[in-house]
Chains A and B, each alone.
Chain A
């Protein structure tokens, strides 16, 4: 091809045009309309409802008619013990499940990364509950934790002679029991993430530690714990988002009961929706939005900055 790089008087021609040609070429090769099919679904069914929730939360709403009532829904939410209790329960539930998954997942992963027998079996068994639906897990544990005939309390009676607690029927421990079930169901995922994180630590560190005669505790404290930090931050963020938004497991074990003892914001949203209080339900949605974002956004930024500092 005879493409001149300069015209007769010496001014470059092609060079000046080249960047534009390549920009056009990128435009043509990677068309922006590729965003449209997925983007439209996402905008219409996720962003639009989210934006409108900030209006409907301030209304008395029947789906056909919305009457603006100012902060009434929020005032009601924060004054009604059953409703404001759900906010406290949501925080307890989110932080407890997340914390337990971090600690127990890490411990399990350290054990399952060591050269022990039956490692593959152990890894699979701890992961099985992740594959079962929350409904299946919830109903199974309802039966296992039955206060009178349940397997767990029968075992407690057999060992101690006394009666076991009403795991899901005692208002004082119902929420904690559901937390336990959630950890049981989700621990396999946390463990898996940690195993991947530990496997990514270069072997040289462990060899150097062995040469220096470090104890297993020192290896854990000074190598595994700091270098698996990316895994820790993933587990924290994932389980916290899941925990704060949790609905399925609570609804299929206690339905928020007894009374309001184990209600979380997500179950209040459903109850108010069922009762036809759409404005109040949406106010619950807005509160959950604010709580989740106010916790997750700064936390993930902080974890990221610590990660890059490593």
Chain B
């Protein structure tokens, strides 16, 4: 009985390893080997070890391409991600906190808005029209605010569930000690949200950093490119040099893979929020 169990354990595990390795790791290995090949070798599109291993040269070439556009794009994407996720977290926490703590006639409306934000696809051209009349179309500030607007719903929903578990006695103790609403929120409540904040920061960073659609619509133009758009813009240029295309894919994927290694647990917590509510 026991021997049989451990045999199945090994069999299932081994076949799972073979299957998932072929299905899920081969494409990654393909990216890596292509990124390390020379141009001729890469143009064969084969899954093989590079004849001449030149990963570093390719990465340098990708960064130098088009007057170091990838570096500018990395700076743009970093500013975009940091700024929009910061605003999302602070503003989202403020909304979720008052929404949970205070029974107001606004609450049903706000709840409807939160769900609407999760479901409704944004209206593209009218959004551009609004941004143009505000003078923030084709600007990084505009795109930051767009990402905040589209990401706020998920943030509020996740935070509200967490804030509901924080006892009100903590608020009351702080008030008795003479804290005003701002000090109560930012110095007492906000630090208590640390774990859910890390979760949201990680999940939303992946989303904003990997976003393609919103920069494509709301921040067009070569000098404004975010990292995902460089890949897309360079595609035609790379038709003859697949090694550089894949070096570019590799370079812009690594930040999120590194993030996963560090924050694995928070990503799992954030992405599964709601799965076990029953």
8 Å CB contact of A118 from B16, B125, B232, B253: B16
B224 within 8 A of A: no
Q: List 13 A-B contacts (CB under 8 A).
A: A45-B131, A52-B126, A121-B17, A122-B17, A125-B20, A129-B27, A133-B256, A135-B231, A135-B232, A149-B45, A154-B46, A197-B276, A282-B123
B contact residues, range: 35 or more
Whether the pair B95, A140 counts as a contact (CB closer than 8 A) is no
Q: Other than A127-B260, A144-B30, give 20 A-B pairs with Cβ distance below 8 A.
A: A32-B104, A38-B148, A44-B134, A49-B122, A50-B120, A53-B125, A116-B10, A119-B13, A131-B253, A131-B259, A133-B209, A151-B30, A196-B268, A247-B213, A273-B124, A282-B125, A285-B123, A286-B123, A289-B121, A293-B120
Given contacts A29-B171, A292-B120, contact A114 B275 (CB under 8 A): no
Q: How far is the CB of A275 from chain B (nearest CB, A)?
A: 12
Q: Tally A-B pairs: CB < 8 A.
A: 275
**Chain B residues in 8 Å Cβ range of A136:** 31, 231, 249, 252-253
**Chain B residues in 8 Å Cβ range of A38:** 91-92, 94-95, 148, 152, 156
B interface majority secondary structure: helix
Segment with Cβ contacts to B, from A3-11, A13-21, A74-82, A226-234: A226-234
Q: Would you list which residues of chain A between 269 and 287 have a CB under 8 Å from chain B?
A: 269-270, 273, 278, 281-282, 285-286
**Chain A residues in 8 Å Cβ range of B94:** 34-35, 37-38
A211 within 8 A of B: no
Q: Hey, what's the 0/1 contact readout for B209-220 against A, CB within 8 Å counting as 1?
A: 111110011000
B245 within 8 A of A: yes
A288 within 8 A of B: yes
Residue of A with least CB distance to B28: A128
A48 within 8 A of B: yes
8 Å CB contact of B13 from A118, A197, A286: A118
B175 within 8 A of A: yes
Whether the pair B125, A117 counts as a contact (CB closer than 8 A) is no
Given contacts A139-B231, A193-B272, A231-B275, contact A32 B256 (CB under 8 A): no
A interface majority secondary structure: helix
Whether the pair A117, B13 counts as a contact (CB closer than 8 A) is yes
B49 within 8 A of A: no
Residue of B with least CB distance to A131: B256
Whether the pair A289, B120 counts as a contact (CB closer than 8 A) is yes
Whether the pair A192, B47 counts as a contact (CB closer than 8 A) is no
Q: How far is the CB of B145 from chain A (nearest CB, A)?
A: 5
Whether the pair A266, B212 counts as a contact (CB closer than 8 A) is no
A297–B119 Cα gap in the complex (Å)? 9
Whether the pair A117, B10 counts as a contact (CB closer than 8 A) is yes
Segment with Cβ contacts to A, from B58-66, B110-118, B191-199: B110-118
Chain B positions near chain A (C-beta within 8 angstroms): 9-10, 12-14, 16-17, 20-21, 23-25, 27-28, 30-31, 34, 44-47, 87, 90-92, 94-95, 97-99, 101-102, 104, 106, 110, 113, 116-132, 134, 145-146, 148-150, 152, 156, 171, 175, 181, 184-185, 206, 209-213, 216-217, 228, 231-232, 235, 242, 245-246, 249, 252-253, 256-257, 259-260, 264, 268, 271-272, 274-278
Whether the pair A288, B121 counts as a contact (CB closer than 8 A) is yes
**Chain A residues in 8 Å Cβ range of B185:** 34
**Chain A residues in 8 Å Cβ range of B134:** 44
**Chain B residues in 8 Å Cβ range of A244:** 121
A244–B104 Cα gap in the complex (Å)? 34
Whether the pair A35, B110 counts as a contact (CB closer than 8 A) is yes
**Chain B residues in 8 Å Cβ range of A296:** 119
Q: Would you list which residues of chain A between 93 and 114 have a CB under 8 Å from chain B?
A: 111-112, 114
Whether the pair B257, A63 counts as a contact (CB closer than 8 A) is no
Most B-side CB within 10 Å, residue of A35, A37, A197, A247? A35
A115–B47 Cα gap in the complex (Å)? 33
**Chain B residues in 8 Å Cβ range of A129:** 24, 27
**Chain A residues in 8 Å Cβ range of B99:** 35
Most B-side CB within 10 Å, residue of A52, A112, A116? A116
**Chain A residues in 8 Å Cβ range of B47:** 151
Whether the pair A140, B152 counts as a contact (CB closer than 8 A) is no
8 Å CB contact of A63 from B117, B118, B132, B272: B132
A248 within 8 A of B: yes
A143 within 8 A of B: yes
**Chain B residues in 8 Å Cβ range of A1:** none
Given contacts A119-B13, A266-B121, contact A133 B268 (CB under 8 A): no
Whether the pair B102, A30 counts as a contact (CB closer than 8 A) is yes
Whether the pair A52, B129 counts as a contact (CB closer than 8 A) is yes
**Chain A residues in 8 Å Cβ range of B271:** 189, 192-193
8 Å CB contact of B228 from A133, A144, A151, A297: A133
A278–B253 Cα gap in the complex (Å)? 34
Whether the pair A32, B106 counts as a contact (CB closer than 8 A) is yes
**Chain B residues in 8 Å Cβ range of A143:** 30, 34, 45, 242, 246
Whether the pair B149, A42 counts as a contact (CB closer than 8 A) is yes
Whether the pair A140, B16 counts as a contact (CB closer than 8 A) is no
